[in-house]
Amino acid sequence: MSIYRLLLLLLPTLLCGNVPAQKEESRSGDSAPVVIMAPGGPVIANLRITVDRRPYRLWVATFMAKRKDSNRDGSLGLDEVSLIPDRLIRQAGARSPQHLLRLATGQ
């Protein structure tokens, strides 16, 4: 086995380290399949994307919620969520402003 192939096999293990297990539904929206065209054939890796050990989409939703909380009461109303562009709502993995509210509050 070549050193490059061995590195490709061990790289995901080295990158992940001791990441605590999370619920399956929170991991499913935060992964990205990557295909690496190696000399010996394609290698498929499923990357899990987190920010501060939180699923990426939940982090994005929380970040947007804090930025759009115009009255600084710690919660978003539907009128505040409607200020967020649709493309950013979709980027957070939400289907609607109401769904974004549920994601941001962890419900």
pLDDT tens digits for 17-26? Answer: 444 544 444 4
pTM of the model: 0.47
Q: What per-residue confidence (pLDDT) applies to 4? A: 53
Residue percentage of the chain with pLDDT more than 70:
69
Q: Give the three-class secondary structure for 102.
A: helix
Other Cβ atoms less than 10 A from the Cβ of 52: the count is: 5
Regions of the chain short of the pLDDT cut 50: 1, 6, 14, 17-19, 21-28
Tokens representing 15 are: 């990158």
Other Cβ atoms less than 10 A from the Cβ of 94: the count is: 23
Q: What average pLDDT is seen over the chain?
A: 71
Q: What per-residue confidence (pLDDT) applies to 12? A: 55
